[in-house]
Amino acid sequence: MCRLPVLAGLHFCGARARLYSPPDLDVLLQRYGKRALYQDNRPLLAPIDDAPPEVHAIADLLTRYGCGLEQEILISRHEDV
């Protein structure tokens, strides 16, 4: 999973980059989430105060479920479509 402070900096890229947040992210976190990812990266959630609202929404889900998600889950789901 990409670190949230990096995601929070996407606004510096302008139209070249955008944050992808699947509509069923909460379901994915419950099914495939890894607690170790959240625990290892939890300190990185604090410095996102000035991040865009979509970053805060993802951070809230990570905190609620106490786990992170490997990006490969999103890639493999996309390939199945």
pLDDT value at residue 30: 96
pLDDT value at residue 9: 55
Residue spans per domain, the chain: 4-80
Sign of CA dihedral 1, 23, 62, 68: negative
Considering the entire predicted model, what is its pTM?
0.73
Q: What one-character-per-residue DSSP string does 9-68 give?
A: GGGGGGGG------TTHHHHHHHH-BHHHHHHHGGGGTT-TTS-HHHHHHHHHHHHHT-B
- Tens-of-pLDDT digits for all 81 residues of the chain? 445 555 555 556 666 777 788 999 999 999 999 999 999 888 877 777 777 888 889 989 999 999 999 989 888 765 554
pLDDT value at residue 24: 94
Cβ–Cβ under 8 Å, residues 29 and 63: no
